[in-house]
Structures are given as structure tokens and as C-alpha cells.
Chains A and B, each alone.
Chain A
Amino acid sequence: MKKLFLISTVTIAFLAGCASNYPSATNSVDSAIANAQAKYQKAHDEMVAWKNTKKVLEKAKKLAMSDPKKAIALANEAAYEAQTALDQSAEFEKTWRAEVPK
């Protein structure tokens, strides 16, 4: 009886763990995509986005349901590209005037 109780408790605990993990996985896909989307949009509006970022982001959105792990990786890649484009733009903002022939 004790053994049965222990097994039931472990099973319930495991299932509860799974159940609580599932929404958090969904949240992390959504938040990764939302983060990438926001960064991409900023880079796009400033006309500094790289040419593949949108494609990577779209692919992440497509895989969000079927392969959340890959979708997160792609969203993070898109976010990284967009952020690098923004950082690069801020850096070149300081130097481009020196390039103009005097």
C-alpha cells in the first residue's frame, strides 16, 4: 500500500511538473519571438536591418508550434543579428562624417 502511494505520488508529481513546464516552454518561444520581432522592427525602421534577419524570424514563427526548441534558437539568432545591426549602426554613426572627402 505504501509502495502504491509512493508510486502515485511520484507519478502525480511528474505529471504536474510536465503540465507546469509546458506553458513555460510556450512562453519562452513567444517571448523569444517577441524579443526578436521588436529588435528586428527597430533595425528595420532605422534602415539598418540585415538582409537575412526577417527570413530567420519568419522561420522561427513557423516552427513555434511544431519545434519550439528550434524556433527559440532561430528567434535568438534573429534577435542577435538585429541587435548587432543596431550596435553597428550606432558605432558607424560616430565615424561616417570622417569618410566625406574634404
Chain B
Amino acid sequence: MLKKMIKIAAISMISGTILFGASFNAQAEKDRVAFVNYFLKKFENPVANKDKYFPYVPLEELKKDYIYPLKFQDFQDGPLSWYKPSKEQFAEINDFPPYEIPLDDGEALFNKPFANGKTYASCFPNPAIKQNYPYYDTKRDEIVTIGMAVNECRVKNGEKPLKYGKGDLAKVVAYLAYKSRGKKIDIKIPNENAAKAYEAGKKLFYKQRGYLAISCNECHVKSSGKRLRAESLSPALGATTQMPVYRIKWGGLGTLQRRLAGCVKDTGSEKPKMQSKPLKELAYFLTYMSNGMKLFGPDTRK
């Protein structure tokens, strides 16, 4: 009888944990599925869906320059996924990718011993880890980004942390991204606080801000697949797969947070600080939206 009771209690606890655990990402998963479906529908047939999604794009341009139908993984190419001229242009640029030299630098930095003789490999024995970042650390009760992990490794080994967003940090992250190519993004929401962080990131993404009163959503969901002057607006789906990117505008590599901070500033808002809570929450939300997509970083962008 006692054995039976213990068995029932154990089963209840396990199933309770599973159900409770699953509920933390229930809303996020619902959001993600709707998010993915929006993009799949939008880019299924832009010519047939012109009135609904592309009312101001000339029909000839839709027929001639748009690539469709797009499948889930196609969105890894960001603004290049749907626009033939950009895709061709960047295919040529990537014959000799501008990120190659900083990527080699990143590999050299990864393998260069610290003053104590250890290397980054002491923290990242398997460098193919980017698919799990950013993650919610339940013990620390905060989001940990890959940049933070790199700097924490340095501090642990007696080195000074690197400046976030660009430079050597972006190079090391580029190397980790390169080693993670082909891995599927796998962001988890392990507890209630993680779910709150996800919701905060979601709000930052959808809520209009700045003196232009626009949101990330305005450009990268609703207007994705349209042009803003000579630029093609990238879909938010898959936006984090190519990070860090070598931007021709920057003349170097930049991390996801650098790009996001720039985007927030473009709305006419104050630029958030690297590794600030809101910026990490935005990255957490956005990366979750691309769960299941294969990584392809680093890459080149305008």
C-alpha cells in the first residue's frame, strides 16, 4: 500500500513538474507559431497576396524581383531571403566574405592562451554553443548572453572583460557562431521569471516608441518584404541566425545587441546600453521567435 502511494505521489510530482514546466513557455510557443505562420503566409505568394501584404509594391517588381514561396529555413537569410537583387549582390560579396578576416582573428583569440596558460576552451570545450544563447539562468535569475559568457570566461581566467558589441568580443562570438553553424536555435523558458523576461522583450518589440513612434514590429513584421528607400526590410523571423554580422556600414563585425541598440535608436529613442536588461530581454524574445531554425553566422549585411 505504501509503495503504491509513493508511486502515485512520484507520478503526480513528475507529471505536475512537466505540466507546470510546459506552462512557462505556453504563451511564448503560441506567439512563435503565430509569428512563423504570419511570415510563411506573407511570403507564400506575394503576387497573389499583393493587396493584403504588399499594396504599394508594383506588381511587376513582385513578379520579377521577389523570391517565393519561402520556407521556414529560408528566413535565415534575413533581408536576402526574399529579394533577388540583394541576394545576387551578396552572393558575389560572399565569394570573398568580408567577415573572413575577423573570423580568423576570432579563432586565433579563442586559441590564444590567457596569462594563466588556459584558453577559452577551458570554458567552452565544445564551441558549438550559440544555439542555446541567450538563455535564462535560473540560479542567477537573469538572462545570460553569449557575450557575457565570453567575458565571464575571461574574468574567471584573470583577464579583463572586453568591450561589448564589437571588436575582439564580436570576433570571438563570430568564431563560436561559425562553429555552431547548422545547429538549431533552442531557447528555453524555464521558470516564471524567464516568462516575464520574455514578455518584457515582446513588449519592447511591439510597442511603438521614439519621436518617430514606430516599433521593431512596424519595420520587421508588418513592413518586412518592402523597401525603405533603397533598403529591403528584413523579416524578424530568422533575424538572429546570422549574428554576429559584418556590416559594410560599420566596417566590421557587430553583435546582435549592437544591431538591436542601433534599431531602437533609429526609432528616435535613447540608445539602450549593451547588456542592459531591456536589450537582453529583446534579444531573448527575438531569438525565441526563431526557435528551430538553423544558425548561419557570421554573415555579411549592408
**Contact call A50/B202, Cβ cutoff below 8 A:** no
Q: Mark each residue of chain A from 81 to 101: 1 if its CB lies under 8 Å from any CB of chain B, else 0.
A: 100010011001100110111
- The A-contacting residues of B in range 214-248, CB under 8 angstroms, are 215, 217, 221-222
**Contact call B206/A50, Cβ cutoff below 8 A:** no
- The B-contacting residues of A in range 39-87, CB under 8 angstroms, are 44, 47-54, 81, 85
A102 contacts the other chain (CB 8 A): yes
B34 contacts the other chain (CB 8 A): yes
Q: Which of A44, A47, A50, A54 makes the CB contact (< 8 A) with B211?
A: A50
Q: Which of A52, A81, A96 makes the CB contact (< 8 A) with B207?
A: A96
On whether A49 and B213 interact (CB within 8 A), knowing A92-B208, A100-B202, the answer reads no
Chain A residue with Cβ nearest B32:
A101
Assembly CA distance A44 to B272 (angstroms): 10
Q: Which of B207, B210, B222, B265 makes the CB contact (< 8 A) with A93?
A: B207
Assembly CA distance A53 to B18 (angstroms): 48
Q: Which of A47, A49, A53 makes the CB contact (< 8 A) with B278?
A: A47
Query: Inside 8 A of B203's CB, which chain A residues have their CB?
Result: 96
Query: Inside 8 A of B213's CB, which chain A residues have their CB?
Result: 88, 92
Q: How far is the CB of A52 from chain B (nearest CB, A)?
A: 8
Q: How many residues of B contact A (CB 8 A)?
A: 26
Chain A residue with Cβ nearest B211:
A50
**Contact call A101/B210, Cβ cutoff below 8 A:** no
Q: How far is the CB of B27 from chain A (nearest CB, A)?
A: 10
Query: Inside 8 A of B271's CB, which chain A residues have their CB?
Result: 51
Assembly CA distance A80 to B284 (angstroms): 33
Q: How far is the CB of B25 from chain A (nearest CB, A)?
A: 16
Query: Inside 8 A of B210's CB, which chain A residues have their CB?
Result: 50-51
Q: Which of B35, B209, B215, B278 makes the CB contact (< 8 A) with A101?
A: B35
Query: Inside 8 A of A85's CB, which chain B residues have their CB?
Result: 211
On whether A44 and B270 interact (CB within 8 A), knowing A96-B215, A99-B217, the answer reads yes
Chain B residue with Cβ nearest A93:
B207
On whether A100 and B208 interact (CB within 8 A), knowing A48-B269, A49-B269, the answer reads no
**Contact call A100/B270, Cβ cutoff below 8 A:** no
- Central interface residue in B37, B202, B209, by most chain A CB within 10 Å: B209
Chain B residue with Cβ nearest A100:
B206
**Contact call A49/B270, Cβ cutoff below 8 A:** yes
Q: How far is the CB of B81 from chain A (nearest CB, A)?
A: 18
**Contact call A96/B208, Cβ cutoff below 8 A:** yes
- Central interface residue in A47, A93, A97, by most chain B CB within 10 Å: A47
Other than the given A49-B269, A51-B269, A100-B206, 4 more pairs (CB < 8 A) read: A51-B268, A85-B211, A96-B206, A102-B34
| B positions within 8 Å CB-CB of A | 31, 34-35, 37-38, 202-204, 206-211, 213, 215, 217, 221-222, 265, 268-272, 278
| A positions within 8 Å CB-CB of B | 44, 47-54, 81, 85, 88-89, 92-93, 96-97, 99-102
10 example contacts (A-B, Cβ-Cβ < 8 A) are as follows A50-B270, A51-B211, A51-B271, A54-B270, A88-B208, A88-B213, A92-B207, A96-B203, A100-B202, A101-B35
